[in-house]
Amino acid sequence: MVDRFTAPLAYHLTFTTYGTWLHGDERSSVDRKSASAVKKHVPPDPMLKEYMEDQLKHPKVLLHESARHIVRNAIDDYCRFKCWPLLALNVRTNHVHLVVKAVDQPSKMLNAVKARATRLLREAGEFEPTQPIWTERGNKGRLLTQKAVNDAIDYVNNQQGPSI
């Protein structure tokens, strides 16, 4: 039996670009600042979304094709450098999905690939130094069974639309 203490086989890491998935969005969101031990689901709310858009300090970020290539190569190269087996990767215009074997703490892995991609995007002149590229944090799904790993790989590779 698999429980919450079982070590994961892999992680499904997902992170979004700055300003593209806000509280109130029709896709819903999670309030990570909730005092509850259980993450609070934030349902769609057009007025809340409009308010959140007004609070943005920088323009929303969408990754065009060349930026997506940079992000893809940055993550692929970094995972190889760290010997983190990358099982699936899909860089979209407003978010990134990767499935990576559980080698390190998921927060460390997530922060490292975001930092590497950010550095290379800035070096290529894609974004100004003051422009945030990613939202804070990201999703770190624990994949506890081989079926969960296979399902996540399928989702990333085949259910996100065409990859670059």
CA torsion through residues 149, 34, 118, 27, sign: positive
Give Cβ neighbours of residue 87 (< 8 Å, ≥ 6 apart): 10, 99, 100, 101, 149, 152, 153
pLDDT in tens, 59-118: 888 899 999 999 999 999 999 999 999 999 999 999 999 999 988 899 999 999 999 999
What type of residue sits at position 162?
P
Domain boundaries, the chain: 1-19+61-164, 22-55
Give the 3-state secondary structure of the chain. Answer: CCCCCCCCCEEEEEEEECCCCCCCCCCCEEECCCCCCCCEEECCCHHHHHHHHHHCCCCCCCCCHHHHHHHHHHHHHHHHHHCCCEEEEEECCCEEEEEEECCCCHHHHHHHHHHHHHHHHHHCCCCCCCCCCECCCCEEEEECCHHHHHHHHHHHHHCCCCCC
Q: Which CATH architecture has domain 1-19+61-164?
A: 2-Layer Sandwich (3.30)
Chain segment 10-50, per-residue pLDDT in tens: 999 999 998 776 655 565 445 555 444 445 655 666 666 66
pLDDT, residue 81, reads: 96
Residue-wise pLDDT for 113-140, tens only, equals: 999 999 999 999 999 998 999 988 888 9
Going by C-alpha positions, the residue among 70, 119, 79 that lies closest to residue 100 is: 79
Residue 164 pLDDT: 58
Neighbours of 69 (CB within 10 A): 14
